[in-house]
Structure 1
Amino acid sequence: MSLVLQMRSERAKLNTQLQALAQLEAGGAALSAEQLAEFADLEAKITDLSAKISRAEAAERMAAASAVPVSESAAGNNSPPANISGPFNEPTKPGLAMAQMVRLLAQAKGNQQQAAELAKSGGYGADVHMALSTVTPGAGGVLVPTNFSGSMIESLRPKSVVRRMGAISLPLNNGNLTLPRVIGNTSVTYIGTETDIPLSDMQFGDLKLAAKKAAAIVPISNDLLAYAGVNPRVDAQVSADLSTSMALSEDLHFIRGSGVAPLPKGLRYWAPAGHIIPQPAGVTLADIDTFLGGLMLRLEVANVDLSSCGWLMHPRTVRWLQSLRDGNGNKAYPEIDAGQLKGYPFALTTQIPTNLGAGGDESEIYFVNFSDCYIGEDENLEIAISTEAAYKDGGGNMVSAFQRDQTLIRVISKHDFGPRHAESIAVGTAVTWGDGM
């Protein structure tokens, strides 16, 4: 384990002790003189460790920036191989570093030391080599450095519809995050002369996010991984496969997760009962417009800020709406061609089912204030590599990675999802529009 990671681990333990003392006092108990002294000591140690971590991180960045190619003078060559596009100390392009790290670990069959040597001898960026030299072993895998994890999260944003629509990402400190929220506002009234001012209290609540483990398995052809040297096209393919698999898993649970352990609670189950509206029986344009307007109205009467609102739908639903015509043959919702519905942007995802309901033909449509939705996420990702394991494909069939000549990359992340105000979500259910298209 690197010095930085050791100090971070030590700081987290100290913070846990400090938080335990703070919780005692928050619960109404008076801290003793010894506990107060312990609190002050913990606070000083955490402050000191934070300063040391900052200096150590700065030193690591300087080491990466000043790294030089490995000497190959025995072979009469003191420069990187000819097939490498840039020098060893050149920083890796954002979005590709994670893919290169994964590809090297796969080539080394999960051996991080061997992967680090491959990075150094193969002319990869110094940041990739240093990351592989300092990663921490996990449960059968390795923990991805924070900066690489951040790069991975950035590549997730355009692929996950919940993230793309504006959900706010926040770090989970020690696996938990509590966000205060106002659930009842004060009221102001006019009063007469010499009349007592009525009492009005604000009511508060909390949104508590706790880390929940999400995992995705990405099968990648060994022929693809076997390419030697730095190949941007191969790295981009690996990065795309990783981010797409993680994004699909996130959307599935952020939209429809039940909230029953170990799953996060998704939009469908955060929505208040009064904000869940079934599709009307009629399919006239007036019926449809009233239904969509009713979803919007639920947020409006709850005084939700509509500036960051948007729709989530299955492609079947939006294509049916796109095909609607009024009595004159004009498109009922021409703005769909520009990516909007009734003045608000929409995103399509097949993670919203179309086989719900007793008939197995129903879907859902969501209208949400995404700026009120929060993704609490652990900054660490864990990856593991296997060439022998089996996995289930999209049809539920077991596939042998060994038989298919594939390498399986398992990515594990920890996060949770929730809105500050559940009233920011409205869900249209029993949507059969487009069934049979």
Structure 2
Amino acid sequence: MTLAELRAKLKAAHEAAKAARVKATAEAATEADRTAYKDALTGAEQALALVKDAEREEALEAASSKGAGDPPGGMGHNSGDDPRVYAAPKKTVKDEQKVLFPVAAQAKAAIINKQHQESGSSERVSPVDLLKNEGYGEFVKELDGRAREQRFKAGLASTTSSSVLLPQPVTEEIIPILYPATTFLQGAPRSVQLIGGTYRQPRGVGSSTAQYVGEGAKKPVGAPSFDDIRMNSHKLAGIVYMTNEAVKWTVGRLEAFIRADLQRVMGLKMDSAMYFGTGAGATPIGIFNTNRAITTFDGSGTTLFANNRKPTVAELDSIGMRMMLSLTGANIVRSDAWRWVMGYRFWAYLDTLRDGNGNKIYPELAQGLWKGIKILVSNQIVENGGTNTDEGSLGLVDFSHVLFAEEEGMTIKTSTEATIDDGGTLVLLWQQNMSAILCEMQHDVTLDQPKAVALLTRVRAGSPSTVAG
């Protein structure tokens, strides 16, 4: 009988023992029920002994089958039905992996330990031991150094427990994780810190006075007015699911899966909220929906475009220039922090425009530019809005005036047992042989100068709709 079969037998015996215990401890339990419980326990113990003997035999087989010069690693990690890990050659961790690598190790260790528990084995593996066994010992040392540094700064003891892995990621490490899927973060907004869930800063809304004066003349007295920038914590939470078959993956492969899914579930939702959040419920108010007076242009009707589904090059150049001048006219100095924010349909329309010789009107689009300003193309720019269900937006943003406040980077938790209500559908992790990673961020966004944003609304360029107007 194979080790996997023995473990299955142990699991069945354990279940039988638990069922017998229910009967034996019931109020109406008979002597036969109590005897059956003792017999079931004996059977489970015998099955456990067989599993332990088989595990010892397999370890001896693995050790005796190696030559004197063979490396300590074996046939690959966690191959087949055996979830144990073995030592591996030294491996490196890339910078973009370092934040989520420990999370992947924690998730894999949780799955392994759950399988050991279900099989009746008392064997446990920590995330630290798992990383070491897979060849990431140098990375563990780096994590230990960072953890010691954070504990030292906090005035705590500097000892490290092998069952506790790494400090929480800091804000500047979280941004690169979500960066590939979040055009808002690609715009490089100014980062500020939420303290206790809030950020407050006075802001001048009325200017002071300055003028040239003659000898002996009175100097001007300004009367600037002020209001407050007030930012509050808004929690963004996402859950990454994985089957427990992921225990057969290396930590590196598992980290890549978690990172890709995290970018999708968190990054895209952040993009939508940072631009178009309404402030309803727990959602922040996005920079295009701020109650402070950003400059807006209405793209409906025929005021800006004779046919707003097929604007001409001259019309596009005109509205682009008007949006740019709306910023410079408000003393927003043009800089490399300016970004166009557009949807894919509008970008594609610009890219298809040709002159009489078939040449592209805007060849700079290939370099990610329009009118010399960098472009952020997001699929979170809705292009099916309005009464015609084909309207979108075009934004021009000076990101040096966009404030992005975070409280504590990202909090990450792992579970193999939880029951999760996923949009009305219950996900039973234990029953469905799955695990989940819960990720939470707390942040807010605002503008320190509302005129740093110009927004063209009801954009229909490139729409296939037959509805005019």
2:202 equivalent to 1:180:
yes
2:284 equivalent to 1:281:
no
Residue number in structure 1 paired with 2:269: 249
Q: Once structures 1 and 2 are overlaid, which stretch shifts more, 188-197 or 356-365?
A: 188-197
Q: State whether residues 105 and 130 of structure 2, in contact with CA within 8 Å, keep that contact through their aligned partners in structure 1.
A: no
1:334 deviates by: 1.5
Provide Cα deviations, 1:59-92, integer angstroms capped at 9, x if missing partner: xxxxxxxxxxxxxxx9889x975555555xx885
Q: Within 2, Cα distance between the matches of 1:265 and 1:110? A: 43
1:330 deviates by: 2.9
Q: What amino acid is the match of 1:239?
A: R
Task: Extract unaligned runs of 5+ from structure 1.
Answer: 1-73, 136-143
2:334 equivalent to 1:306:
yes
SS of the counterpart of 2:248? coil
Provide Cα deviations, 1:346-397, integer angstroms capped at 9, x if missing partner: 01111111111111110111100011111111224243435664565xxx89
Task: Percent identity, please.
Answer: 26
SS of the counterpart of 2:235? strand
Change (3 A) 1:324 1:387: farther
Q: Once structures 1 and 2 are overlaid, which stretch shifts more, 382-391 or 195-204?
A: 382-391
Q: Within 2, Cα distance between the matches of 1:219 and 1:97? A: 20
Q: What amino acid is the match of 1:383?
A: K
Task: Extract unaligned runs of 5+ from structure 2.
Answer: 1-58, 65-70, 77-86, 115-122, 145-159
2:450 equivalent to 1:422:
yes
Q: Within 1, Cα distance between the matches of 2:352 and 2:424? A: 36
Residue number in structure 1 paired with 2:411: 381
1:2-151 aligned at under 5 Å gives the runs 92-107=93-108, 108=110, 117-123=126-132, 124=136, 125-126=139-140, 133-134=163-164, 145-147=167-169, 150-151=172-173
TM-score with structure 1 length normalisation?
A: 0.69
Q: What amino acid is the match of 2:312?
A: T
Provide Cα deviations, 1:18-65, integer angstroms capped at 9, x if missing partner: xxxxxxxxxxxxxxxxxxxxxxxxxxxxxxxxxxxxxxxxxxxxxxxx
Provide Cα deviations, 1:139-184, integer angstroms capped at 9, x if missing partner: xxxxx83336653332222331111112122222222222333323
Residue number in structure 2 paired with 1:165: 187
Aligned mate of 1:227, from 228, 233, 248: 248
TM-score with structure 2 length normalisation?
A: 0.65
Q: Once structures 1 and 2 are overlaid, which stretch shifts more, 335-344 or 148-157?
A: 148-157
Q: Within 2, Cα distance between the matches of 1:344 and 1:429? A: 19
2:386 equivalent to 1:357:
yes
Residue number in structure 2 paired with 1:71: none
Q: State whether residues 240 and 437 of structure 2, in contact with CA within 8 Å, keep that contact through their aligned partners in structure 1.
A: yes
Q: Within 2, Cα distance between the matches of 1:428 and 1:131? A: 55
Residue number in structure 1 paired with 2:81: none
Q: State whether residues 168 and 373 of structure 1, in contact with CA within 8 Å, keep that contact through their aligned partners in structure 2.
A: yes
2:271 equivalent to 1:262:
no
Q: What amino acid is the match of 2:200?
A: T
SS of the counterpart of 1:226? helix
2:234 equivalent to 1:212:
yes
Q: State whether residues 186 and 201 of structure 1, in contact with CA within 8 Å, keep that contact through their aligned partners in structure 2.
A: yes
Q: Within 2, Cα distance between the matches of 1:317 and 1:242? A: 27
Q: Once structures 1 and 2 are overlaid, which stretch shifts more, 406-415 or 148-157?
A: 148-157
Change (3 A) 1:81 1:252: same
1:429 deviates by: 0.5
Provide Cα deviations, 1:216-244, integer angstroms capped at 9, x if missing partner: 12233433x212554x3332232222233
Q: Within 2, Cα distance between the matches of 1:131 and 1:215? A: 28
Q: State whether residues 104 and 115 of structure 1, in contact with CA within 8 Å, keep that contact through their aligned partners in structure 2.
A: no
Change (3 A) 1:382 1:400: closer
Q: What amino acid is the match of 1:226?
A: V
Residue number in structure 2 paired with 1:62: none
Residue number in structure 2 paired with 1:70: none
Residue number in structure 2 paired with 1:343: 372
Q: Higher Cα Rg: structure 1 or 2?
A: 2
Q: Once structures 1 and 2 are overlaid, which stretch shifts more, 191-200 or 209-218?
A: 191-200
